[in-house]
Amino acid sequence: MRSFLKILLLVAVLFFCLPSLHAQKRKEARIKYRADYVEVDKRIGRGAQRLLDNVEFIHGGAKMYCDSAYFFSKKNSLDAFDNIFINQGDTLFLYGDLLHYDGNTKKATITGNVKLVNKETTLKTEKLYYELGIGKGYYDNYGHTVNKDNTLESIKGFYYTQQKTFVFHDSVIITNPDYVMYSDTVEYNTESGIASFFGPTDVIGDSSHIYGEEGWYDTQLDLAELKHNAWASNEKQTIYGEYIYYNKNTGDGLARDQVRILENERSVILLGNKAKYNDNTEYAFLTDSAQFIQFTPEGDSLFLHADSILSYPDTAGNKIVFAYYKVRFYRYNVQGICDSLVYSFADSTVRMYFNPVLWTGSHQVSANQIDILTKNQNLEKMYLYNASFIASKVDTSFFNQIKGKNMICHFSEKQLRQIDVMGNGQSVYFPLDDDTSDIVGVNLSECSNIKIFLENGEVHRINFYVKPNGGMYPLDQAPENKLRLKGFQWLDSLRPRDRYDIF
């Protein structure tokens, strides 16, 4: 019973105290004011006061100054006129021509020549809605903001004083001495200078242009992270990818997912899913489905794939391309495989290393190293070093073969026309009947140096520098163990058949 009475007494005390506590809270939330002249003006409302000269309001840690004002004590609100100045600690300095302020909600509407100043940031607009309680400002009819070296413009904008962050919407433009950014939505931190964007965004400099649909740009350090259909372009090349990280100062960048590096001057595209690059040095290193593509005016482009592709210019500015491991390439008149490859633009030479095999027309070419010289992106000469071997299929059982230490292959009008064999020359050749195309025999020859002439991909004439060993045999009398030279391999199953077969 005593416990019940104690509880009842406590409830009664709280019940009678609540109005006074509420009244005290309301009292603390009232707007305080002072002015040189104060008068009651019934024309503007019951209980309204007119304040003139050196008018000052104090509320919620903020001070408001103006030339004149109407104060509505019952509504706890005011309308102020001319030379409006609001100060809240060292975080907010707000100016304007007209002010309406509601003390109950701590919401202010400032109109006419509005200027908001926060340390190194100044916002100008014609109308600003500001919530003093949470430090949030908003405009919806164009705003102009200056922060350090950056000028920011938008149709709509929010400013969060405590976080020192703007959120700009609609026709956002950020102007810097080095570039201009265009976007639809940008979140900008005035301390860090980082602009995070959401939606299609362009950053355009004197000689560069970057684009992304999500990401951020550090306006102080000139760093950028771009996502979704991203690309970065300068006078020399354009890099595309779903993700790009870019350092404008050093030119270094990282790109991922469907990466493309386009070099317009050289008609070259580098592809891959992972890439490191440098805009200034034109360095590029690609992995994961890496490709090198070189276009020609005639449309007979070169398509090359390797585990890794490295590209950069030499000291004279000529491009060098390195392809490492499991190299495969396709062009309509030449295809090849090897373990590594170097393409030098200076002398238009492709060098193939480690078990290189090359196919042109009906011929299979192999050696320890193959160097391909091109002219106007067409085959001109081919140098075969050590264990040189050329083979072509006659039918399912027989193959024409040429073997030697070194060889030079000469091309004309995109066809193999001449083969020079230098050292340890050997040949197996099956001549055909001109009328029936039947095999008429086999020519087995050995000679140190041999010159072979071709027409339409077929052997037309063979010149021996000295008298050769061997001779012509009927097919059924030829020594079977001589029909295939030592080291012969028919690798047609490895031959790339089209641009997609390089993978």
Check residue 482 and give its pLDDT: 87
**Would the pTM count as exceeding 0.85?**
no
Q: How far apart are CA 401 and CA 364, in angstroms?
A: 9
Q: Report yes or no: 69 and 80 within 8 Å, Cβ to Cβ.
A: yes
Residue 190's CB is within 10 A of a number of other CB atoms, namely: 21
Average pLDDT over residues 401-413: 90
Residue spans of the domains in the chain: they are: 368-477
What is the DSSP track for 429-477?
E--B-TTT--B--EEEEEEEEEEEEEETTEEEEEEESSPPEEEEE-GGG
Q: Check pLDDT > 70 for residue 26.
A: no
Check residue 8 and give its pLDDT: 38
* Residue of 55, 66, 141 whose CA lies nearest to 97: 66
Check residue 231 and give its pLDDT: 92
Check residue 458 and give its pLDDT: 75
Average pLDDT over residues 273-292: 92
Average pLDDT over residues 121-141: 94
Q: Check pLDDT > 80 for residue 484.
A: yes
More confident residue, 462 or 201: 201
The proportion of the chain whose per-residue pLDDT surpasses 70, expressed as a percent, equals: 93
Q: How far apart are CA 379 and CA 375, in angstroms?
A: 6
Mean pLDDT of the chain: 88
* Residue of 397, 381, 394, 401 whose CA lies nearest to 432: 394
Q: Check pLDDT > 50 for residue 54.
A: yes
Pairing of strands 302-313, 378-393: unpaired
Check residue 116 and give its pLDDT: 94
Q: Check pLDDT > 50 for residue 15.
A: no
Neighbouring-strand partners of residue 278: 252, 283
Task: Please report where in the chains the tokens 């707000």 appear, as a residue.
Answer: 94
Which residue type does 311 have? S
Q: How far apart are CA 289 and CA 493, in angstroms?
A: 21
Q: Report yes or no: 63 and 55 within 8 Å, Cβ to Cβ.
A: no
Average pLDDT over residues 416-444: 87
- 2 is written with which tokens? 């005593």
Of the listed ranges 20-24, 142-146, 377-381, 457-461, the least confidently predicted one is 20-24
Check residue 9 and give its pLDDT: 39
Q: Is 153 exposed, middle or buried (0-12, 13-18, 19+ CB in 10 A)?
A: middle
Main-chain phi, psi angles of 121, to 5 degrees: -120, 135
